[in-house]
Each structure stands twice: as C-alpha cells, then as structure tokens.
A and B are shown apart, each in its own frame.
Chain A
Amino acid sequence: MEGKSINWKKYFFSFAITAVIFTTAIFLSNYFSQKKLAEVRGIQDKIAIDILSSETQFSLLEESSCKDIGVGTLSKELGTLEEKLSYTENQRGSDDPEVQTLKQYYSLLEIKDYLLMNKISEKCNKTPISIIYFYSKDCDDCVKVGYVLTNLRETYPDLRVYSFDYNMDISAVRTLISVNKVENKMPALIIKDTNYYGFKSIEDLEKILPELAIMKAEKEKLEKQASTTEAN
C-alpha cells in the first residue's frame, strides 16, 4: 500500500506519457492533413495537364472531324476535385490560406475547362450543356442549390457544373462575372447564357435544360444495347 504518501514519480510519468501521445497525435494529424492537401494539389495538376493536353490536341486537330475530339476529352476529375476541396474547406475552415489558394487554382481550372468545352461544342455544332454557379458565404439558399447541383451531377454525369465563390478575388472570376453581368444576388446560375437567381429545384433545372432528359435517354439506350450484346 502506498499509504497517504503520493508517488510523484508516477504523476510525472503519466503526464509525460500523455504528453507524448498528444504530441504524436498532433504530428499525425498534421501529417495526414498535409497528405490530403498534397492529394488535392495532385488532382489539380492532373486536371491542368488534362486541359492543356486537350487544348493542344484541339489545336493540332483543328481541321479534323468531331469524332476525334468528342466531349469525352474533357477531364472527368473536376467533380472529385470539387468534393475533396469542399471537404477540405469544411475541415480547415474557409479562411485557411491553403484552402484559399487551392480554391483559386480550382476556379481557374474551371474557367479553362469551360472555355475548352465551349470550343469543342462550337466545332461539333452542339449546344454546350453546362451550369455556371455563383455562391457566397452565409447564403442559406446556396446550401440548397449546392445539394441540387450535386444531385444533378450524380444523375447526369455528362453535365458540367462550374461553381465559383462570387467574392473570390481573382481577375478571371471577376471578368467572368462582368462578362455575364451577374448581379450580387446569390445563388446565381448561368445556363445557356441566361442568368437565374434564387433557389431552383431539380425539376426547375430539368425544365430549363430539356437536353438533360435526352442525354439520359441516350445513355440508357446505350446501356441497354451494351447489356443485350453482352447477353448474346
């Protein structure tokens, strides 16, 4: 029995062990968050390369037919990037300098992707199906529109959604806003050169973009064909 005496050594040891565990946890947590940032940066670089390569391909094949440069040439990873970026923003806070830099880079990539898509559509005489979406902090309807757009993108994987923080301080985004005359009424959507403000439900957007239904029908037809050939 220790009696009423106090074994200070043990107090010290347990404190030291706890401090070691704490330090290790801090270290691990930092390590993982750096790794995650690196992963986001990696995806961004990959998208940048994708876009650059598509642009180059486009220039090289200026005269060639649409077949060679379908919409499939566009990067497929913008959606993944967006998800990971918004998760990171949630975890680290939107004021985090790393998050802000990543978001700026992301916005630029989006604009480049948008321009490239327009070029391809023009060449192939297709109406580009995309939604440009502006949001701002502390905007309740923006949260709802965010859910709607995520859902739409899941239903129609070929639909390209470009989201921008309205208050982002980079000139390309400011130009995009002024060119399209987007007013400061969030949430704002640009669909086929028309600006829409306020909350829009899935049904509203499907009405504005009837092409979505056609896209879906075509895709289903293709899938059916694929499955019947497989069955044969």
Chain B
Amino acid sequence: MPDILNLIMYVFLFASLNFEVFLLITYFEIRDGIKDEEKMVARAPKRQPSVTIIVPCWNEEKTVSKTINSILNLDYPKDKLKIMVVDDGSIDSTWEVVQKFRNNKQVELYTKENGGKHSALNFGISKLTTDLVGCLDADSYVHKDTMNKIAVYFEDRKTMAVAPSIKLWNPTNPLQLLQKVEYGFGIFTRKVFQYLNAIYITPGPFSIFRKEVFENLGGYRNAHNTEDIELALRMQKNGYKIAHAHNAYVYTVPPRNIKTLLKQRVRWSYGFIKNAQDYKDMFFNRKHGNLGMIILPMAAFSIISILFVSTVSIFQMLQALVNYFIRVQAISWNVHFNFPTFDWFYINTDLIALLGIVTTIGTLTMIILSKKLSEGNKIIGMDLIYFFSLYMFIAPLWIAKASYNVLVGVKATWR
C-alpha cells in the first residue's frame, strides 16, 4: 500500500482505538451506577405520571392491532394511560381495522390527510392532556413492564426524555441475527452515552418525553425523515437531560431482506449526516460537553473512516482477484493443493494488521459487554459470527449510498 494510504489508515486506527478506549473506560467507571439503576427499576415507581402514546400509522393494517394491544396490556393504571391512534391518510384498511378499539375508553382514534410521520405526531401532541408523551410505530410492540420502568427514571425532575432499549422481534434469518448484535451494541453505547450526557437519538419506538419538551422547543420536524435524531439534538442543544432505561424493552420487527434493510439504513445514515450538518455548530463546542467534543465528531468521523477503509479493501480485493485471474491464465487449473504448513514467518505482523487486531478485540469486548447488559448473558452464538462476517460488507453499502445521496442531493424516503 502506498505510504500516504498507510498514514491515513494509522490516523483512522488511532482515532477508532482512542474512542473504544474512551467508551470502555467510561463503562468501567459507570458499572456501579448501572447496578444502582437496575436496583432502582426493580421497585415500583413512586409516581405514575399520566402518559399518552401516539400510534402514527400509514398503511399498517396488518400490525396496528397488535401494536395497540401491546400498549393496552401495559402494566400501568388505565386512567393514566391514553392511546392516540393517528391514521396518516392510509390507503389500505388501517382505519377500518382500528375501529374495533372505538369503544375503548383508553383509545382515541383520529384520521388526517397524509403528511408524514412528524405531522401525525404533531397532530397528536396538539391534543395532548397528559404529563408525558411518547409514540410507538405500528411495527413495534412494548413489553408490559416498560412504562413502569420508564416512569422510575422520570422521578428525576431534570430528566426530560427517556429512551428505551430496542430489541428485535423474533430474529431468525442471518440478516436479522446480525441486526440483533447491532441493536444490542446500540443498548451498550446508549447507556454509556447517557452517563456522558450525549444521547443524540431518542428512537422512534417508545421514547417518552415530558410535555414541556414540545411546549418549550416546538413540535417534531421533518428533519430529513429522521425526526428522532433531530429532536434529541435539539434537546441536547438546549441542555435537556435524556436518560436511557436499558431494562425497559420495546420490540421492533427487523427488515427481513437486504433491500428493505438498506432502505432503512440509508434513511438513518442520510438523516444523521443531514442533521449533523444542521447542528454543525455543536461539533467541537465545549458548551455541549462530551457530545460536542467527542461523541458527535466520532460519529461523523466513523462515516468517513468506514468509506475510506471499505474503498481501500475493495481495491485490495479486486487486486487479489486480478492476481488470481493472471495466475489461472498462466498455469490454467494446474493448481497444487498443498496442505498449508504452519510457518509463523507468513503471519502478517504489519503495524496495520496488529492495530486491526487490537481494534477488533476492543469491538468484541464491547459487544460481549453489550450482550451482558441487554440479555444478561455473554453467550457467543451464530449472531456474532454473522455480525463479524457480514456486517463489514453490508454496512459500507448504506453509508456509501447515504453519503452519495447527501452529495448529489437525493432526498431519503420512508418507504
């Protein structure tokens, strides 16, 4: 590899390693805090504030009933829990399907012209009468303890929003198992970010907010179809505290195939890049603490480094392929299949290879810790194998596509 590429690679490896070390140090610092939190949520909340869950739906006839039922099944006082179903101009039979909840006192049904998810949420917020508000997409389900666990976090007057832990509903195929690892990792980083005061996404499904958030900061924005990133950034910018209830579970149905996964992820990555541009004054701004000084810069930096590393890898793989082709051309198929004899001499001991190993060990450590945090065990299964073998090939695809879309100005779409 030419020297300049090597040099860039060292910079990327140094930054990634530095970030991993930073996160791991933080994790070991906060372990007692996490244990205290776990003890805290094990008891019933001292207060159960009234809460409205908005269910925005657009053509979700198949899943919407299950979603509403999961909210109705929440172990939470009925007079404190309200469900607002907002049909965002569905053209299937969503509206007819939800009519069966018409006589339920906890459920309010509304229909409006199609205007996007953020408009459906704002429609609900405009009719708000409760202390807290959250939303649940019509492809997600909530565990029955979740609301009580979240309520405990709101005992802290300063906490303005609480993000739950998102898990996958019945992951089965390799693509879904790979996402399971990713979501588990997300739970780990969000927990660490909570203590760094740097949560920059309040995920769509079942993040709960105090109503003052919307009263003071205004409603949801379209925000490049990632309103959950924008709102969290807006809250952070205004110094609002966001917590993460890692034991409060919400289940979401993962994309089954590569096409829908890519579509979803291109939207997320595109949304992050665009929102990061909109909030670029937070970067390297000491006023915004760890979020400004390390978390946001590293999130942006990881996009660049993934693009760089994958481009270099693709060129190297192509080179290897060309060499293989030349070899076949030269000796046709007279290839000798020698049993590879082990000789330490041929083990790659390049600086990049050694640092790559250290970085991978760091990632593996965090993934195992995240498994412990999100599932209570450290069992390494097929999911990890899929993750390590496939993720590095798939993730660059959506990051590249999202970056391309940002550069040429293609808007991300929801579906």
Contacts and interface: CB of A to CB of B under 8 A. Distances in A.
Interface of A: 1-6, 10-11, 13-15, 17-18, 21-22, 25-26, 28-29, 32-33, 36, 39, 84, 87, 91, 140, 143-145, 147-148, 151, 154-155, 199, 201-202
Contacts of A28: 349, 354
Given A2-B197, A4-B287, A87-B345, A21 B17 contact: yes
A4 B289 contact: yes
B243 to A, nearest CB: 9
Interface residues of B, number: 40
A18 B21 contact: yes
Nearest to B156: A1
Nearest to B3: A93
B324 to A, nearest CB: 10
B326 A26 contact: no
A147 B346 contact: no
B196 to A, nearest CB: 7
Closest A-B pairs by Cβ, 4 of them: A32-B349, A144-B330, A4-B289, A14-B22
A201 B327 CA distance: 11
B14 A5 contact: no
Contact of B195 (A2, A87, A202): A2
B289 A84 contact: no
B234 interface: no
A2 B29 CA distance: 11
Given A11-B294, A14-B21, A36-B345, A151 B195 contact: no
Given A87-B346, A154-B336, A4 B17 contact: no
Given A1-B197, A144-B326, A84 B345 contact: yes
A25 B330 contact: no
Nearest to A31: B349
B358 A4 contact: no
B14 to A, nearest CB: 6
A126 B25 CA distance: 72
A96 B332 CA distance: 33
Contacts of A22: 14, 17, 355
A226 to B, nearest CB: 20
B70 interface: no
A148 B351 contact: no
Nearest to B323: A143
Interface in B340-395: 345-346, 348-351, 354-355, 358
B354 A25 contact: yes
Chain B interface mostly: helix
A2 B289 contact: yes
A202 B239 CA distance: 73
Interface of B: 14, 17-18, 21-22, 25-26, 29, 195-197, 239, 241, 286-290, 293-294, 323, 326-327, 329-332, 334-336, 338, 345-346, 348-351, 354-355, 358
A26 B17 CA distance: 15
Interface centre among A14, A145, A151, A201 (most CB of B within 10 A): A14
Interface centre among A4, A39, A151 (most CB of B within 10 A): A4
19 contacts: A2-B196, A3-B289, A4-B287, A5-B289, A14-B25, A21-B358, A25-B354, A25-B358, A28-B354, A29-B350, A91-B348, A91-B350, A144-B326, A144-B327, A145-B330, A147-B330, A154-B336, A201-B330, A202-B334
A139 B187 CA distance: 54
A154 B335 CA distance: 10
B117 to A, nearest CB: 30
A206 B356 CA distance: 45
B292 to A, nearest CB: 9
A2 B290 contact: yes
Given A29-B350, A91-B350, A144-B329, A18 B289 contact: no
Contacts of B331: 147-148, 151, 201-202
Contacts of B323: 143
A155 B334 CA distance: 10
